[in-house]
Amino acid sequence: MGGSVRDAQSKVEIDHVLREGGPVVLHFWASWCEASKQMDQVFSHLAVDHPHATFFRVEAEEHPEISEAYSVSAVPYFALCKDGKTVDTLEGANPSSLANKVAKLAGPVDASGSAVPASIGMAAGPVVLETVKELSKENGSSQSAKAPSSGLTESLKHQLQELINSHPVFLFMKGSPAEPKCGFSRKVVEILKEEGVSFGTFDILTDNEVRDGMKKFSNWPTFPQLFCKGELLGGCDIVIAMHESGELKEVFQDHGVLPVLDGPSSGSGKGGITVSDGVSTTLTARLKELINSSSVMLFMKGKPEEPKCGFSRKVVEILQQENIEFKSFDILSDDEVRQGLKVSSNWSSYPQLYIKGELIGGSDIVLEMQKSGELKRVLKEKDIIGEETLEDRLKRLVSSSPTMLFMKGTPDAPRCGFSSKVVDALRKEGVSFGSFDILSDEEVRQGLKTFSNWPTFPQLYHDGELVGGCDIVLELQSSGELKSTLSE
């Protein structure tokens, strides 16, 4: 079927073609995304230009198994495969980049070696090209499923808020629980049933005003969308991850949402706690003693070396990255402390971080404080840490993760080709790694060149030791030594 686009019906179908070893290009799209529709025209012209490659169109929401296999989180998204492996990807509406990547994969369409004139300029036509370019600008050439930026009427806002608040757990989905109209919605319904919680739903296919309005209201471009006590938890990928880790059950418990089989909770209070005359004086004294047992005290699920939820793990990582000494208490080991601290602190979830006896907040607040530098400022003000030299800071950053990459941009949005290649190499080898965007901090950028005696970026470290830059990483990958080097 050279020269045409095939609509993928299953992962088995794609895998069968991949096993043949030839060039394969996948376009993940969604019917509600205008950028997907425009890029699909470019995709179709590229299929004509490269008849020896196989072009698959995959409706992302209808085929969650395929989307998950290729780590699709936004549309349009393209995966380019050869010899049975994914060799390149592209996220967003960027026709020229797609044409060049396809030409690199399948060979140029003419002797000049450039795919752009044939695939984009002449074949796609100026109208398509200009439309896609505008979409690309509007969406930052990345998540083209982003909701429109125009405002919402007060009446629609009120309607959406009423829907969200109509049930403790509420799901905006395609179809109904009895008959979901997309694979992602079906998966979330199955998870909620497994969790045993009662939930309300709204079929966004029945009301375009609600459908478009929710994208803007929640600033979340896709469906399904799951809310708990009025707060957005996320879409399908996030719900699956929270369910598998046990975090979803904990979030429900922390917000007083109990399984239907357990019956309704008695009394009233925060996070499912029955509050009558408050916390006993004995427990109050015990909580105060625990909070003040260390200058930095973390109440978490599990222990620092073995966190039992992702939120607790994140705060532990932040404290370790900042080289802060702290004590912790596993609230899963003592239900009296777990429930009592929620009432005492008026904070309904965990982890909870305290500095010099004062509550700082949970994982979201701690993360924001780290990003803004506020966490370091507070620690200095309270004499937890002193002034840090640049060398000390670089040593701490280099050792903040067993495998650490200093790059331009982030792993999800690299800002140079060399950084992108190293990220791809690490991901293909299944290596977990931390990263630091050297474009965000000129002091680190210049200081690390001297510190490592390595003048360029990216720079990859393992166990605090420099491995090298892009060329060395790619050589190690080519020789099959990269994973073993980073696991020694």
List pLDDT tens digits, range 224-266. Answer: 999 999 888 888 878 888 888 888 988 888 888 877 643 333 3
Q: Dihedral through CA 186, CA 187, CA 192, CA 194, nearest 10? A: 110
pTM: 0.33
pLDDT at position 129: 47
148 contacts: CB under 8 Å, gap ≥ 6: 212, 215, 216
pLDDT at position 25: 95
- Higher confidence at residue 182 or residue 10? 10
333 contacts: CB under 8 Å, gap ≥ 6: none
Please check whether residue 38 is in contact with residue 132, taking contact to mean a CB–CB distance below 8 angstroms: yes
List pLDDT tens digits, range 122-156. Answer: 334 444 444 444 544 444 433 333 333 346 788 88
Q: Dihedral through CA 66, CA 72, CA 74, CA 76, nearest 10? A: -60
Eight-state DSSP code of residue 356: T
3-state secondary structure of 342: helix
pLDDT at position 271: 30
pLDDT category at 17 given cuts 50, 70, 90 is very high
Would you say residue 121 has pLDDT above 60? no
List pLDDT tens digits, range 449-482. Answer: 999 999 899 999 999 899 999 999 999 999 999 9
Cβ burial of 281 (10 Å; 0-12, 13-18, 19+) is exposed
Instruction: Name which of 112, 127, 105 is nearest 42 in CA terms.
Output: 127
Distance of CA 278 to the CA centre of its chain: 39
- Higher confidence at residue 372 or residue 294? 294
Please check whether residue 301 is in contact with residue 349, taking contact to mean a CB–CB distance below 8 angstroms: no
Phi, psi of 110 (to 5 degrees): -150, 180
Would you say residue 434 has pLDDT above 60? yes
Alpha helices in 292-359 (DSSP H): 310-321, 335-345
Label the pairing between strands 409-410 and 413-414. Answer: antiparallel
Element (H, E) at 407: strand 403-407
Would you say residue 387 has pLDDT above 80? no
Distance of CA 423 to the CA centre of its chain: 16
Q: How many residues in the chain?
A: 488
Task: Report in angstroms the alpha-carbon separations of 32 from 76, 159, 223, 233.
Answer: 11, 22, 10, 22
Alpha helices in 273-416 (DSSP H): 281-291, 310-321, 335-345, 363-372, 374-381, 390-398
The mean predicted confidence, pLDDT, of the chain is 81
How many separate helices (H) and strands (E) can be counted in the chain? 21, 23
3-state secondary structure of 170: strand
Element (H, E) at 236: helix 236-245
List pLDDT tens digits, range 272-329. Answer: 222 333 457 788 888 999 999 999 999 999 999 988 887 888 899 888 887 788 999 9
Q: Dihedral through CA 282, CA 285, CA 289, CA 290, nearest 10? A: 60
Q: In whole angstroms, what is the distance from residue 425 CA to residue 441 CA? A: 25
In this structure, is the dihedral angle defined by the CA atoms of residues 97, 102, 107 and 109, taken in order, positive or negative? negative
- Higher confidence at residue 410 or residue 221? 410
